[in-house]
Structure 1
Amino acid sequence: MKVEKLTQIDEQQLDNIMAIWLDSNVEVHHFIAASYWQDAYDEVKLQIKNADIFVAYHVDKIVGFAGLTANYIAGIFVVSEYRNQGIGGCIINELKRRYSDLELDVYQKNESALVFYQHNGFKTVRQSIEAATDELELQMKWQKN
């Protein structure tokens, strides 16, 4: 699996990334109305243009990505039919190779993501209720030994 940091994002890549972002959020965050993600689409598209984006390819197709600002992982997203095949692990391993510490927030109800991050050495450091969704979020951190 090839994972690389995009240095420039063309419109087709951006459209693919945004489709993965929206589809993944609606699917895995079934406890939040789909309209929440749809309403955030344009803002996230702007943020992605300014973020560090790491993509995973299957042949020449983007099948997953992570978006970061500094050392904060805004999310790791994988196309549904490619999940549970090690793609998220490849992405997180590339991030851990490049960064000495990483932070993220994950909804407590997103159990598969929570287990994934714990398995990859992230520790919960804080809990809070996200105002926009009224859902419990866990702030997690990972630090290189």
Structure 2
Amino acid sequence: MDHRIDYIDRFEYNKVVEVWEASVRATHHFLKEEDIAYFKPLILNTYLDAVELRCFRDEHFKILGFIGVSDGNLQMLFIHPEHRGKSIGKTLLEYAINSLKVNKVDVNEQNEQAVGFYQHCSFETIGRSELDASGKPYPILHMELIK
């Protein structure tokens, strides 16, 4: 199998947003429908351009998961739910740490699977915010890589 980490072209942003939405619906059960509707155009039109993007592709070059990195912060890590549990997230995270110098991540406290994943990958919580970056009432854990 020719799985690989690759760059993402702007013409692929709609596919990236499809992965984001499927992932969020599978893992962010605390979000309301209007929250997803609020974030979706922001992801497409603003957030993807604000980060360094990489994706994990299958042998047919389909995007199965992606990361977004900015200033040592992992801003995004989303895996399509059909492909979770196959070490894609771990592969992308290791790439982000080793190649993009990631050492911090902010995680929704209510996304317990993600919190556990980052803890398992040597991140520890160093702070907490009551509100997310948009001012919505979804507490955020600030985590840092411990080596």
Please confirm whether the aligned pair reaches a TM-score higher than 0.5, indicating the same fold.
Answer: yes
For the 8 Å contact 1:102–1:142, the answer to whether it is kept is: yes
Corresponding residue for residue 74 of structure 1:
75
Moved over 4 A (4+): none
Percentage of pairs with the same residue: 21
**How is 1:1-145 mapped onto 2 (pairs within 5 angstroms)?**
1-4=3-6, 6=7, 9-11=9-11, 13-45=12-44, 46-59=46-59, 60-130=61-131, 132-142=135-145, 145=147
- What is the identity, as a one-letter code, of the residue corresponding to 1:19? E
Q: Which moved more, 1:51-60 or 1:21-30?
A: 21-30
Alpha-carbon offset, residue 101 of structure 1? 4.3
Count of residues in correspondence between the two structures: 141
Counterpart-to-counterpart distance in 2, 1:90 and 1:101: 13
Gap regions ≥5 residues in structure 2: none
TM normalised by structure 2 equals: 0.87
Counterpart-to-counterpart distance in 1, 2:10 and 2:141: 33
Alpha-carbon offset, residue 99 of structure 1? 3.9
1:53-75 Cα shifts (integer Å, max 9, x gaps): 01001111110001112211112
Gap regions ≥5 residues in structure 1: none
1:34-91 Cα shifts (integer Å, max 9, x gaps): 2112112222222202310010011111100011122111120001110011000000
- What is the identity, as a one-letter code, of the residue corresponding to 1:137? I
Of Structure 1 and Structure 2, which has the larger fraction of its residues in strand?
1
SS state of the match for residue 91, structure 2?
helix
For the 8 Å contact 1:66–1:75, the answer to whether it is kept is: yes
For the 8 Å contact 1:125–1:141, the answer to whether it is kept is: yes
TM normalised by structure 1 equals: 0.88
Counterpart-to-counterpart distance in 2, 1:69 and 1:101: 8
